[in-house]
Homo-oligomer: A and B are copies of this chain.
Amino acid sequence: MATILDGKALAAEIDKNTMLEVQKLSDRGITPGLVVILVGHDEASQLYVRNKERRAKKMGFHSVIRNLPETITETELIQIVQKYNTDPTINAILVQLPLPAHINDFHVTMAISPQKDADGFHPLNLGKLILNQANQTPVACTPSGIMEFFKAYNIPLDGKRAVVIGRSAIVGKPMAALLVNANATVTVAHSHTTNLSELTRKADILVVAVGIAHFIKADDVKPGAVVIDVGMDRDVQHKLVGDVDFKEVEKKAAYITPVPRGVGPMTITMLMAQTVSLTKWSSEQDG
């Protein structure tokens, strides 16, 4: 039976450290400021944004939610982002994705100041990560949360075979970069990959971000592997499940993240930690 990587417990531990950092900033008269920009009325997005707001308030942040109409133009949205780029009370800007079809996600991401890029999605920040030069640089929260699991559970990465399924800007690409930087041998697989199972069966570290319920079965996994499930899917009973068939794979893996209480809680925790880091870095530059 695999060791369960407990995202809820690890997130709580990291939150404690983050709150200590908030206290230290507060002693210097500084309050981290996070703005979350939400366009339209997507239900899932609204839920995520509310969760972020609740956490930000609990952390003692200056928390702003900007709920913008579905009909806003790209230019108007970019102007609002630019306003926050120069707003001294705001240290971190997050634009909730996906945006309506008439707005180009990449244009909006490019408009966020790299120094206030809460999600670490700006290409300058991603480029620095790829070059292993991500000092004082925000990094995408889901992959950096996954790295915290490896650290907390002393899972070695150097020289290990890692397979990342999915090549999104949010998970797959930064995840691959972090693993290469940690000296793993990394394969990026995706929807065009053939013989996927042959690949995954060789993986010491398997990160799955495909968005299909129970996509990875026990047969696809190497005995003793570390299996990280980024999926947040619904099964036929509409129950929240992951991309990995947890019940079966758990018997074969050495470590596995559950869904829920695995990667999910780590993402928002890393967002909070990163907001504090951005605040600290900016205060050091101002000083």
Q: Which residues of A contact B (CB under 8 A)?
A: 106, 122-128, 130-131, 133, 158-159, 161, 167, 169, 173, 176-177, 180, 183-190, 192-194, 199
Pairs A–B under 8 Å by Cβ, sample size 9: A123-B127, A130-B173, A130-B177, A159-B193, A183-B192, A185-B194, A186-B187, A186-B188, A187-B188
Q: Closest chain B residue to A163 by CB distance?
A: B187
User: What is the CA–CA distance of A122 and B159 in the complex, to the nearest angstrom?
Assistant: 28
Q: Smallest Cβ distance from A270 to chain B, in angstroms?
A: 20
Interface of A is mostly: mixed
User: What is the CA–CA distance of A193 and B182 in the complex, to the nearest angstrom?
Assistant: 12
Q: Smallest Cβ distance from A125 to chain B, in angstroms?
A: 7
Chain B residues whose C-beta falls within 8 Å of the C-beta of A180 in the assembled complex? 167, 188, 190
Q: Closest chain B residue to A193 by CB distance?
A: B185
User: What is the CA–CA distance of A176 and B131 in the complex, to the nearest angstrom?
Assistant: 13
Chain B residues whose C-beta falls within 8 Å of the C-beta of A167 in the assembled complex? 180
User: What is the CA–CA distance of A252 and B69 in the complex, to the nearest angstrom?
Assistant: 60
Q: Smallest Cβ distance from A282 to chain B, in angstroms?
A: 18
Q: Smallest Cβ distance from A209 to chain B, in angstroms?
A: 14
Query: CB distance B123 to A133 under 8 Å?
Result: yes
The answer to whether A192 and B158 touch (CB under 8 A), given A180-B167, A186-B187, is yes
Q: Smallest Cβ distance from A169 to chain B, in angstroms?
A: 5
Chain B residues whose C-beta falls within 8 Å of the C-beta of A158 in the assembled complex? 192
One of B124, B173, B184, B193 near A123 (C-beta < 8 A): B124
Q: Smallest Cβ distance from A31 to chain B, in angstroms?
A: 30
Closest 6 CB pairs of A and B: A123-B127, A127-B127, A187-B187, A183-B192, A126-B127, A185-B193
User: What is the CA–CA distance of A184 and B194 in the complex, to the nearest angstrom?
Assistant: 10
Chain B residues whose C-beta falls within 8 Å of the C-beta of A187 in the assembled complex? 185-188
Assuming A123-B128, A187-B187, what are 15 further A-B pairs, CB within 8 angstroms? A123-B131, A124-B124, A125-B127, A127-B127, A131-B169, A159-B192, A159-B193, A159-B194, A167-B180, A176-B188, A183-B190, A185-B189, A185-B192, A186-B187, A186-B188
